[in-house]
Amino acid sequence: MRNLEDLILPHIMDIAEYVPGKPVKEVQRELGLDIEFHKLASNENTIGVSPKALEAIKAELENLFWYPEHSCYYAKQALSEKLGFPPNQISMGNGAVEIIADLGHVLLGPGDESIMASPSFMWYRIAAEITNSKLISIEHPDFIHDLPKMAEAVNENTKIVWICNPNNPTGTMLTADEVDDFMKIVDDRCLVVFDEAYNQYVERDDYPDTLNYVRERRNVMVLRTFAKILGLAGLRIGYGIGPKLLVSALEKVRPTFSVNSLAQVAIVAGLKDDEFIRKTIERTWKEKRYYYSECDRLGMKYLPTEANFILINTGIDSKKVFDNLKMKGILVRPGWIFNAPAWVRVTISSHDENEKFFAAIEEALKELR
Ligand SMILES: Cc1ncc(COP(=O)(O)O)c(C=O)c1O
């Protein structure tokens, strides 16, 4: 008999499991607390689901006995019309996360390297780990992407540089000029992946138009998701725009039917839901100012954000803050997970939920300081 430990690949055994923010029901079950919970931990769109997407989902329900269209024909067509790229330059995935993992499978292997900023989205690390390749993680004291250092780290083994813009978990943004300087130095020596999961929340006007690099046939892929902006986090659908050859390579490793039929019809309808998208953006911009003023009032440092979440320095061990807030019914993302021990990342939600967060954190600070 062989032990399972000997069958599972050693580099997979070594991976630290990704711990996502837990759904409210799971926390309620674990704590056995009969109180109202407010989940501000995973950057979801708490306005709800785009009404246009929801209508399309309901109409599609009775067709669920069919497998979905593997090619995502209509979804790609809708994106193609919106963004001006042909369908063969569009990858679809079961969330943008699937495309991140598939980029790992397509480009990385033992001896290869990828580069990411730290802290940034953890799936870039996992893409390196599942492919048994080397990850170079570049920190900066201000939690920003140190693009000059990241460019300097590119060598003949580098296959991917991950740029998360705006960055999760910091909400910080790289400007068009900064990215352009970086692209000049990297000079297509590897693939640059711009993860723009939060692009539609950006308020500044110097945000880069990275699709231009794809138009210029550079080694670039741009990733985006419908999870946040259309309120479709539970449905799992994201996309990438990139070179034809890369899109077809990604298609080879994508599991059959990975993008479900409800998700496909939802985005075709949701892409036309300008009203919902506008409401989502306006609320976020308004409420982030409320965060700034409340953080100032409570003497907590924060990073100005271009996303729908904000990173706040509580000055206290984030494990303690997380536990304390949890017992008050507020769920946030504790910074210890991404090496920012005194920080918490909070989703910018409705004014009512944001007020509840500040009432809870004010009490927590008194209890823990
Ligand atoms: C930076 C970033 N990229 C990608 C994703 C994944 O998006 P999806 O829900 O489409 O898998 C997230 C989700 O939190 C994210 O924050």
1 CA distance to ligand 1 centroid (A)? 41
Kindly state if the Cβ of 179 falls inside 6 Å of ligand 1: no
Confidence of residue 31 (pLDDT cuts 50, 70, 90): confident
Cα angle 146, 150, 154 (rounded to 5 degrees) comes to 170
Kindly state if the Cβ of 124 falls inside 6 Å of ligand 1: no
Count Cβ atoms below 10 Å from residue 353 Cβ, excluding itself: 17
Q: Tell me the whole-structure pTM to 2 decimals.
A: 0.96
Confidence of residue 18 (pLDDT cuts 50, 70, 90): confident
Confidence of residue 19 (pLDDT cuts 50, 70, 90): confident
Kindly state if the Cβ of 129 falls inside 6 Å of ligand 1: no
7 CA distance to ligand 1 centroid (A)? 31
Pocket test for ligand 1, best of 145, 168, 228, 254 (most atoms within 8 A of CB): 168
202 CA distance to ligand 1 centroid (A)? 16
Kindly state if the Cβ of 195 falls inside 6 Å of ligand 1: yes
**pLDDT above 90 as % of the chain:** 92
Question: By C-alpha distance, which of 208, 135, 120 is closest to 170?
Answer: 120
Task: Note the pLDDT tens digit of each residue in 50-92.
Answer: 999 999 999 999 999 999 999 999 999 999 999 999 999 999 9
Q: What phi and psi, each to the nearest 5 degrees, are found at residue 83?
A: -105, -15
**pLDDT above 70 as % of the chain:** 100
Kindly state if the Cβ of 271 falls inside 6 Å of ligand 1: no
Query: Which residue has the least CA distance to atom 12 on ligand 1?
Result: 197
pLDDT at residue 22, rounded to an integer: 78
Residue 176 burial by Cβ neighbours in a 10 Å radius (0-12, 13-18, 19+): middle
User: Whose structure tokens read 């020596």?
Assistant: 189
Rounded CA separation 68/336 (Å): 40
Query: Which residue has the least CA distance to atom 3 on ligand 1?
Result: 197
Q: Decide if pLDDT at 150 tops 90.
A: yes
* Architecture field, domain 51-270: 3-Layer(aba) Sandwich (3.40)
Kindly state if the Cβ of 168 falls inside 6 Å of ligand 1: yes
369 CA distance to ligand 1 centroid (A)? 33
Spell out the residues 6+ positions from residue 238 whose beta carbon is closer than 8 angstroms to its own: 92, 93, 94, 95, 96, 97, 98, 99, 197, 223, 224, 225, 226, 227
CA atoms within 13 A on the CB side of 305: 32
Nearest atom in ligand 1 to the alpha carbon of residue 100 is 4
**Domain ranges, ordered by start, for the chain:** 4-48+275-368, 51-270
Query: Which residue has the least CA distance to atom 15 on ligand 1?
Result: 197
Rounded to an integer, the average pLDDT of 160-182 is: 98
Confidence of residue 30 (pLDDT cuts 50, 70, 90): confident
Kindly state if the Cβ of 136 falls inside 6 Å of ligand 1: no
Q: Decide if pLDDT at 152 tops 90.
A: yes
Nearest atom in ligand 1 to the alpha carbon of residue 164 is 1
Task: Note the pLDDT tens digit of each residue in 256-302.
Answer: 999 999 999 999 999 999 999 999 999 999 999 999 999 999 999 99
Pocket test for ligand 1, best of 120, 195, 229, 239 (most atoms within 8 A of CB): 195
pLDDT at residue 97, rounded to an integer: 98
Kindly state if the Cβ of 164 falls inside 6 Å of ligand 1: yes
Spell out the residues 6+ positions from residue 77 whose beta carbon is closer than 8 angstroms to its own: 87, 268
The average confidence (pLDDT) of the chain is: 96
Polymer length of the chain: 369
Question: By C-alpha distance, which of 192, 178, 173, 175 is closest to 116?
Answer: 192
Task: Note the pLDDT tens digit of each residue in 207-266.
Answer: 999 999 999 999 999 999 999 999 999 999 999 999 999 999 999 999 999 999 999 999
Q: Please check whether residue 114 is in contact with residue 133, taking contact to mean a CB–CB distance below 8 angstroms.
A: yes
What is the fold, at CATH topology level, of the domain defined by 4-48+275-368?
Aspartate Aminotransferase, domain 1 (3.90.1150)
Q: Please check whether residue 167 is in contact with residue 135, taking contact to mean a CB–CB distance below 8 angstroms.
A: no
Q: What phi and psi, each to the nearest 5 degrees, are found at residue 163?
A: -120, 115
Query: Which residue has the least CA distance to atom 7 on ligand 1?
Result: 96
pLDDT at residue 247, rounded to an integer: 98
Nearest atom in ligand 1 to the alpha carbon of residue 167 is 1
Rounded to an integer, the average pLDDT of 330-352 is: 96
